[in-house]
């Protein structure tokens, strides 16, 4: 019994120590720009081990040197209530769960053989993560999908919202979000796709970049995608109503 009690205490102290470590890391982000994220480092390792050469582009630019059009486009596409929620948009999350449940039910009604024969598309999985949640995941966590990791993401999201302003959260997010294979951040994306700086992006260019975010590697290979253009038109119409932090 004594051994078990000590083991529980050790686990609890280890968990507390980990949270304090994360807390310290996040607190420093208020004044220190992160050089890389956990996701970026894992991607760099993957590219080094799987590709013949490492194509990598990421350069930090301050918030003021990222066009307002891109900020509005990303918020409109990824997290419309960004300035108002406290890290988690419960309404968006509930809608995402409902859509995914419907997609899974529809898939269950079709056999794998029938889908292959007709070439039916795989049901789209809709995400409900906010910009803050995405930053928490990419900045400090691994890519594994477990309840424990999701719980840690929730805790980190609350820490980010408590210690950083909305403007700072968006600044870090836009400087480290993936926009293609080895392409990270707004400046790298603007240079790669449009040969201009992030400060010079037009509203249309910003909208197209924003639409790429859920599947950047996929859309990098399909720049003329009809979906990309159609979705960009929708985001373009939403951008004027977006409130910036």
pLDDT in tens for each of the 245 residues of the chain? 676 677 777 777 777 888 888 899 999 999 999 999 999 999 998 888 887 677 899 999 999 999 999 999 999 999 999 999 987 766 655 554 455 444 445 445 555 555 444 444 444 444 468 999 999 999 998 777 778 888 899 999 999 999 999 999 999 999 999 999 999 999 999 999 999 999 999 999 999 999 999 899 999 999 888 999 999 999 999 999 999 99
Q: Is residue 122 part of a domain?
A: no
28 lies in the same domain as 136: no
Rounded Cα distance between 180 and 192, Å, is 9
Under 8 Å CB-to-CB from 73, ≥6 apart: which residues?
Answer: 203, 206, 207, 209, 210, 235, 236, 239
Q: For position 169, which CATH number holds?
A: 1.10.3810.10
Q: Which domain holds residue 20?
A: 1-32
161 lies in the same domain as 236: yes
66 lies in the same domain as 28: no
Q: Show the tokens assigned to 108.
A: 């269950």
Query: Buried (b) or exposed (e) across 68-96, using 16+ Cβ within 10 A?
Result: ebbbbbbbbbbbbebeebebbbeebeeeb
23 lies in the same domain as 134: no
Q: Tokens 């899974």 correspond to what residue?
A: 104
Q: Is residue 212 part of a domain?
A: yes
67 lies in the same domain as 185: yes
CA distances from 66 to 2, 187, 189, 206, 215 (A): 58, 8, 11, 10, 21
Quote the number of domains for the chain: 2
2 lies in the same domain as 57: no
Q: Is residue 175 part of a domain?
A: yes
Q: What pTM was estimated for this model as a whole?
A: 0.83
155 lies in the same domain as 213: yes
Q: Is residue 96 part of a domain?
A: no
15 lies in the same domain as 134: no
27 lies in the same domain as 133: no
């Amino acid at each position: 019994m004594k051994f078990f009690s000590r083991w529980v205490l050790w686990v609890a102290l280890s968990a507390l120590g980990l949270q304090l470590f994360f807390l310290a890391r996040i607190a420093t982000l208020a004044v220190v720009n992160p050089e890389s994220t956990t996701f970026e480092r894992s991607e760099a390792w993957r590219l080094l081990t799987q590709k013949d050469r490492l194509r990598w582009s990421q350069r930090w630019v301050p918030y003021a040197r990222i066009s307002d059009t891109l900020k509005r486009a990303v918020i409109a596409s990824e997290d419309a209530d960004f300035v108002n929620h406290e890290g988690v948009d419960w309404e968006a999350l509930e809608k995402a769960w409902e859509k995914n449940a419907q997609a899974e039910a529809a898939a269950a009604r079709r056999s794998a053989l029938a889908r292959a024969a007709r070439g039916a598309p795989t049901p789209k999985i809709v995400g409900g993560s906010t910009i803050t949640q995405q930053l928490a995941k990419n900045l400090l966590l691994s890519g594994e999908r477990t309840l424990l990791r999701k719980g840690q993401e929730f805790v980190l999201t609350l820490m980010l919202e408590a210690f950083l302003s909305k403007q700072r959260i968006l600044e870090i997010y836009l400087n480290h979000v993936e926009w293609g294979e080895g392409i990270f951040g707004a400046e790298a994306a603007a240079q790669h796709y449009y040969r201009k700086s992030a400060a010079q992006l037009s509203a249309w260019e910003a909208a197209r970049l924003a639409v790429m975010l859920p599947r950047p590697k996929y859309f990098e290979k399909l720049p003329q995608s009809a979906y990309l253009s159609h979705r960009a038109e929708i985001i373009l119409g939403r951008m004027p109503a977006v409130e910036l932090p």
